[in-house]
Amino acid sequence: MKTTTTRKILAGLNYSGLDRLYQQLDAELGVLLTFHHVHPRLPQAFSPNAHLAVDPEFLSEIIRVLRQRGFELVCMDEVRARIQSPERKNRFAAITFDDGYRDNLEHAIPLLREQRVPYAMYIASGMIEGTANVWWEGIEALVRENTSLVFDMSGQEVELDCSNLAAKQSSFVKLMDYLTEELPENLQRSFVNTLCSQYEVDLEAHRERQLMTWDEIRQLAADPLCTIGAHTVDHPALARLTEDDASSEMVNGADVLAAKLGRKPDHFAYPYGYHQAAGPREFDLARKAGFKTAVTTRPGMVFAEHANYLTGLPRISANGLYQEKRYFAPLTSGLPTRLRSRMRRLDVA
Ligand SMILES: [Zn+2]
């Protein structure tokens, strides 16, 4: 329902030309885009993580739209330089990928190389080494493959109906809310592991299929177009940890990348990146850890005022539910996110 409304608003802005008019008036410096999976679309009715995957054609379309609209595609070092000395140049756009999925290597990187587009890849070392996994995809598999799930939720036996599409969708949301809001971060993994082994979902095999190996990441790191950034060790919602634990996750994740790749990462992405996962305390910790920039998933454009908030930068998601030019193009004008944030430029509190 919400998706349908948003699509209508975006398409309306596109047809009216209002977004292009607005773009000529506003003073944003550029935009950072978030990608996760890139692969051909899978025809699946129950697909609760579909927003995290775009097909390669849509990535091409995005690059085309950005160039048509006068954006220069730049790396994260250049993003930082342009925020720090914001002379009026062309607007910039930066392409960023979170987590290091193998499909990026197969479907996105060749395309970016062909088009000479710089990109950043944020790696959580534990997801590569198996101390963390893609648990939200494990939950998706559990709900897809079963008609009901019975398990212990905070000492109470609970049964979740997964017998039809609507039931699956609501059960997925319930489980995700429980895992991200109620259960402490340090218990999340054991809960998911227990549930997955109870219902024979092999999370470790899934992780191995989905994530790149260190060898593959090293190949990428050698590409002059690629910036490898840090993304913690075990991909926690940092704001739900103690300050010491949050700090260790950030620092240790960067140290592992330095050891594996021979170069300390200068840039960082907060896992999940939304308000409840990363806030002002984390922005401070990222600065203290020495990162030159750190990116959230708070939607918005980048302005000169972000010079004081280089570790709290907004990004716009290349969202799999909006894979059409008429939905994406207006986002590059900054108008939709400004409307959403009641015309505020900064969202850093
Ligand atoms: Zn991530």
Q: Tens of pLDDT along 67-112? A: 998 999 999 999 999 999 877 678 999 999 999 999 999 999 999 9
Query: H or E element: which one contains 96?
Result: strand 92-98
DSSP type of residue 17: T
User: Position of tokens 């092999």?
Assistant: 202
Claim to verify: residue 143 and residue 231 sit in the same structural domain: no
Claim to verify: residue 324 and residue 265 sit in the same structural domain: yes
Taking Cα atoms as reference points, which of 180, 41, 32, 11 lies closest to residue 98? 32
In a domain, 334, yes or no: yes
Answer for the pair 35, 60: CB distance below 8 angstroms, yes or no.
no
338 pLDDT above the threshold of 80: no
Claim to verify: residue 37 and residue 120 sit in the same structural domain: yes
Claim to verify: residue 119 and residue 20 sit in the same structural domain: yes
Last residue of a domain, one of 205, 231, 253: 205
Question: How many angstroms separate the alpha carbon of residue 6 from the centre of ligand 1?
Answer: 24
150 pLDDT above the threshold of 60: yes
308 pLDDT above the threshold of 90: yes
Q: Using CA atoms, how far apart are residues 102 and 108, in angstroms rounded to an integer? A: 10
In a domain, 349, yes or no: no
Question: How many angstroms separate the alpha carbon of residue 12 from the centre of ligand 1?
Answer: 32
Percentage of residues in the chain having pLDDT higher than 90:
74
pLDDT at 20: 65
Last residue of a domain, one of 190, 205, 220: 205
Claim to verify: residue 175 and residue 251 sit in the same structural domain: no
Claim to verify: residue 26 and residue 160 sit in the same structural domain: no
pLDDT at 23: 63
In a domain, 246, yes or no: yes
Answer for the pair 203, 51: CB distance below 8 angstroms, yes or no.
no
What is the span of the domain harbouring residue 41?
2-130+211-340
- Looking at the 3D structure of the chain, how many domains does it have? 2
In a domain, 126, yes or no: yes
Claim to verify: residue 56 and residue 162 sit in the same structural domain: no
Claim to verify: residue 201 and residue 267 sit in the same structural domain: no
In a domain, 345, yes or no: no
Give residues whose Cβ lies within 5 Å of ion ligand 1. 98-99, 271
Question: How many angstroms separate the alpha carbon of residue 1 from the centre of ligand 1?
Answer: 26
Claim to verify: residue 263 and residue 329 sit in the same structural domain: yes
Claim to verify: residue 110 and residue 217 sit in the same structural domain: yes
Question: How many angstroms separate the alpha carbon of residue 255 from the centre of ligand 1?
Answer: 18
Question: How many angstroms separate the alpha carbon of residue 91 from the centre of ligand 1?
Answer: 26
User: Position of tokens 């051909």?
Assistant: 40
Q: Using CA atoms, how far apart are residues 164 and 146, in angstroms rounded to an integer? A: 10
Last residue of a domain, one of 205, 240, 263: 205
DSSP characters over 190-209: HHHHHHHHHTT--HHHHHHH
Question: How many angstroms separate the alpha carbon of residue 112 from the centre of ligand 1?
Answer: 21
Question: How many angstroms separate the alpha carbon of residue 174 from the centre of ligand 1?
Answer: 21
